[in-house]
Amino acid sequence: MQRVINEVEEKLRAGDSKLTPRREHILRVLLENKDKHLSAEEIYNLVKQKAPDVGLATVYRTLELFLDFDIIHSIDFGDGRKRYEFGGERGEGHHHHHLVCTSCGKIIEVNEDLLEDLEKQVTEAYNFTITDHELKFFGYCKECAVKED
């Protein structure tokens, strides 16, 4: 984790920003919950447990800063709240997709890039350079599907 924190610190410093202690608390929460898609309020509640002096406004400003520096991604799953996930540069490397349960709200990551062939077709057919994509499937998770039957 410390290696990633140092990398983020260098990235911010290169862009004339700093990794303040409050920002580091927020970053640590994101890193400790890499497998989750947390809202700003959820991040705030987790940060408050370790750093009670961090306010909600600080969390929002820090998330915007991290978005600007491509340290995190924001995703809207159709519930009216932005969710955040830690990740590398947008448009580079491996893409992943999400399955969203419309009953319980569970979010499951699909770690295969399902759109690679489609991207190539679109690029060739429309002479369009794709830099990123996002795919969300909505339905019922295994547990909720059993309840629906």
Render pLDDT for 23-77 as a digit per residue (tens, 0 to 9). Answer: 999 999 999 998 888 999 999 999 999 999 999 999 999 999 999 999 998 888 8
98 annotated ligand binder: no
Domain CATH for 15: 1.10.10.10
Please write the tens of the pLDDT for every residue from 100-120.
898 998 888 887 777 888 889
> pTM score, two decimals?
0.73
- Domain co-membership, 55 together with 81: yes
Residue 141 lies in domain: 93-149
Q: Looking at the chain, how many residues does it have? A: 149
What is the CATH classification number for the domain harbouring 105? 3.30.1490.190
Is 116 annotated as ligand-binding? yes
Would you say 7 is a known binding-site residue? no
How many domains are there within the chain?
Answer: 2
Please tell me whether 144 is known to bind a ligand.
Answer: yes
Those residues with Cβ within 8 angstroms of residue 131's Cβ, 6 or more apart along the chain or in another chain: 90, 91
Contact predicate 64/71, CB 8 Å: no
Please check whether residues 74 and 133 belong to one and the same domain.
no
Q: Are residues 84 and 122 in the same domain?
A: no
64 is in an annotated binding site: no
Let me know whether 11 and 61 are in one domain. Answer: yes
